[in-house]
Amino acid sequence: MARIVASVCGVTGPFDILAYGPRATLREAAPPEWVPPMLATLTDKPFSDPGWAFERKFDGERCLAFRSRGELRLRSRSCRPLEGTYPEIADALRDQPLDDFVVDGEVVAFDGARTSFALLQQRSGIKDPEVARMSSVRVFFYVFDLLYAQGRDATRLALLDRKRVLRRALDFRDPVRYTVHRNCDGERYFAQACTHGWEGLIAKETTSAYVPRRSSDWLKLKCSAGQEFVVAGFTEPAGSRIGLGALLVGYYDGQGDLVYAGKVGTGFDRATLVELGRRLKRLESTRPAFTPAPKVGRGVHWARPELVVQVSFTEWTSEGKLRHPRFEGLREDKAAGEVHRENPRGRTVRGQ
């Protein structure tokens, strides 16, 4: 049974910058093997509020880093090992002066000043660390939260206290970077983010604890529409196209049915068409997984709904289909059964 660490004098290292009250929320605990990441809820209403902090939303791969007794593990959102994929990040975290910690962040690759999920795809499929080290795609780990350090569970600390401790706990040198935040002025920051071509912002309630689930204490504001979808079919390629013509994608509703959302036929390079075609051939099925089955014409191959892809689009049509969808990449870090349509939720500004 964990117990509260109530002695101010007994808390040292990065936690000693905290006042007595925040320190009293710390709990002695063994290093965790796994912590499900805290997830943000989508909203379509930019806002300003002194009780919220605003961080850049990165277009990358979520990553939690666990270091204990000399061992360093990187895990994806679905707990998939990532040390072989991003060995330079693992090396940098092994060299940290703090010998036990759990931190949360995002691995990204840059195309100019913008993070590019498509570019990161060139690294995310690699499992051999030596092959990864030879890649021309440079990656960075933007750390935004601290969950555990020096034998103490920090998840009950308020967000801004966790970020204060995090800033002191790690040595931030490339490829490990600290995720800065801005207070209060979320609307102006969001406008700037979209002007700069960012993915968007994450708004976080400044006194919130870290919880292992989706929470309305973290809100995501996107500059353009996009989310994950399940692939449950594909069409035959036409003309000089190879591999496949278009992906048939959908999402799970509240009843567990896979709802058809449309065809995705752009955004592929030649290598991706070949790889997706090969993988989908292995998943071919004689019957559609969609409920109800869509009327999509001839030349369609159904597939077992196992692959998850990232898709950008301009909007949802009144018929519930994607307008101008574009393939962005495969999502190896999310299970098909977790894919649902993201519906923005409003929020009430404090005092209203």
Q: Which residues are catalytic?
A: 57
Nearest to 175 by CA among 233, 99, 88: 88
Token code pair at residue 297 = 């014409």
What residues pair up with 62 in beta bridges, in sequence order? 106
Neighbouring residues of 347: CB distance < 8 A, sequence distance ≥ 6: 43, 45, 47, 216, 219
Give the closest residue to 43 by CA, choosing from 343, 317, 311: 343
Q: How far, in whole angstroms, is CA 185 from its chain's centroid?
A: 24
The gap from C-alpha 164 to its chain's centroid, in whole angstroms, comes to 22
Q: How far apart are CA 51 and CA 45, in angstroms?
A: 16
Beta pairing class for 61-68 and 71-76: antiparallel
DSSP states along 53-98: EEEEEPSSEEEEEEEETTEEEEEETT--B-TTTSHHHHHHHHT-S-
- Provide CB contacts within 8 A for 8, sequence distance 6+: 20, 23
Distances (CA, A) of 170 to 5, 76, 97, 115: 22, 20, 7, 23
Q: For residue 272, with 0-12 CB atoms within 10 Å meaning exposed, 13-18 middle and 19 or more buried, which class applies?
A: middle
CA–CA distance, 132 with 263 (Å, rounded to integer): 33
Find the radius of gyration of the CA atoms of the chain.
22
